[in-house]
Amino acid sequence: MLNPTLLDGQKFQITIQRLCRQLIENHNDFSNSVIIGIQPRGIYLAKRIAEELRKILPGKTILQGDLDITFYRDDFRRRETPLVPNQTRIDFIVEGKKVILMDDVLWTGRTIRATMDAMMAFGRPEKMELLVLVDRRYSRHIPVTADYVGIPVDSIASQKVVVSWKETDGEDKVVLLSDVK
């Protein structure tokens, strides 16, 4: 079965650029805003966005961190083995800041719920927003919605959305895989 590419090449780049412009619209020069990538796959998006923002806003400080949410997940003891945690790297104060959480794919929303819990351990942000590259619509298990969406996708549960990054996979691409067990 064909696995359609949803986003690649120039279109991928334009999407990233658009997300950056939308962020600037709400966060101006990012003096009171920080970017948090959700481990493991959201950190590449967060790094890319931060990198692009630094190009668009030269001289401005764009703070970006990585957040691991393993210990806050709701499926502990419900899967066969515990998940191995990733690194958390937040070397700035979150208290009172506008936090933009970033992940590659928004699907059930459970990761985002865990992320909001995990974020609170670092203090009380003024505001939390969510940016995702791919929004798998109509598949939420909990009421979560993204503030910024790269591309909306209508998919069924047996399908899988895979985001590849130039830095780690050699190519910027979003692919919809069918019948993944």
Q: Closest by alpha carbon to 52, among 64, 38, 70?
A: 64
Min CB(85)–other proteins separation in Å: 4
Residue 22: CB atoms within 10 A of its CB come to 14
CB closer to other proteins out of 36 and 146? 36
Token pair belonging to 6: 């949803």
CB closer to other proteins out of 14 and 142? 142
Q: Is 68 one of the binding residues for other proteins (CB under 8 A)?
A: yes
Residue 84 DSSP one-character state: P
Q: Is 81 one of the binding residues for other proteins (CB under 8 A)?
A: yes
The residue from 28, 31, 61, 87 that contacts other proteins (CB under 8 A) is: 87
Whole-angstrom CA distances from 136 to 37, 49, 88, 90, 130 are 19, 20, 26, 28, 14
Interactions with other proteins, residue window 121-140 (CB under 8 A): 121-123
Q: Which chain residues interact with other proteins by CB under 8 A? A: 68, 70-73, 76-88, 117, 120-123
